[in-house]
A and B are shown apart, each in its own frame.
Chain A
Amino acid sequence: MDYMILSVILLAVGIYGLLTKRHLVKVLISIEIIAVAASMNFVLLASSLNRALGETFLVLAFSTDTCVTAIVLALLVIVAKKYGTCDIRKLAEIERSADEEQAKS
């Protein structure tokens, strides 16, 4: 059983989701999976080498990760309320049309 390969597989799944999914909640879930894959690599390596410092860094990293999730969710709620959609492509279209209107005026 190799944790490093497992971590790479989870990272690949997360990146796939990040590149292919259009809904912002799905994108956030993909970011979570990527973060979990990275932290798993650190925790299990530190644990197998019996280094407590690695686990300590990870506890701090979890907090940062939660902050990132909270900020992204707040932005997501604002975007959904302002534009009425969470679809990335629709949001890009809205922005493009707003830019075109601005250029005309």
Chain B
Amino acid sequence: MIVELLAVGLVVSACLAIYLDEAVYSVASLACMFVLMAVLYALSDAVFVAVFQLAVSAGTLAVLFLAGEMLSEKPEKEKSLKKIFPVVLLAVVLSLPSIFLSVAVTPANISSGFSFAEALWDLRVIDVILQGLVIMTVALGIAIVLYERREGES
């Protein structure tokens, strides 16, 4: 029952994130979606991914909040609850197939006896190191681009 409610909540918050005009409300709805997703992961025994999802989404959302507040104009007329209600209803209807229908998936018969830590630090250690390099390069690149832009303005 909890998982079904989470599925409905996920679809409703995704729809509201798209539908709401004001960027801050939209990002708040996206935050709700990320939290529900992390709870869904945790309930499915993917606790590490849930924690990672929460940590990553916290950063993403903080920046999105700032960007949304800074870059978006206030809409002239806020959407009333009467206009939001049909969207919520539509989202609930949209989420129903995921609750009542099912797709048959035949799992491949490959046994993997790795734990999460073994898979991350033994099998994919080069990936992890390269990922760190990529993230550092991206951070440096963004800093350089924004710095050049500021110099060009002054």
Contacts and interface: CB of A to CB of B under 8 A. Distances in A.
Interface of A: 1-6, 9-10, 13-14, 16-17, 21, 23-26, 28-30, 32-33, 36, 40, 43-53, 55-60, 62-67, 69-71, 73-74, 76-78, 80-81, 86
B138 A71 contact: yes
A10 B10 contact: yes
Contacts of B15: 13
Interface range for B: 35 or more
The main secondary structure of chain B at its interface with chain A is helix
Those 3 A-B pairs whose CB atoms lie nearest each other, nearest first: A6-B98, A17-B18, A5-B98
B105 interface: yes
B116 A56 contact: yes
Contacts, number: 175
A2 B124 contact: no
Contacts of B34: 36
Given A10-B14, A67-B138, 14 more contacts: A6-B7, A9-B94, A25-B64, A26-B23, A50-B112, A52-B115, A60-B128, A65-B56, A71-B141, A74-B142, A76-B71, A81-B149, A86-B71, A86-B72
B81 interface: no
Interface in B99-154: 99, 101-103, 105, 107, 112, 114-116, 118-120, 123-124, 127-128, 131, 134-135, 138-139, 141-142, 145-146, 149, 153
A7 to B, nearest CB: 8
Contacts of B107: 49
A80 to B, nearest CB: 5
A6 B51 CA distance: 21
Contacts of B68: 25
Given A78-B146, A86-B71, A2 B98 contact: yes
Given A5-B98, A25-B67, A32 B30 contact: yes
A99 B135 CA distance: 36
Nearest to B128: A60
17 contacts: A1-B7, A2-B102, A5-B97, A23-B23, A25-B64, A26-B23, A28-B64, A29-B27, A33-B14, A40-B37, A55-B46, A56-B124, A59-B49, A63-B56, A63-B134, A70-B139, A71-B142
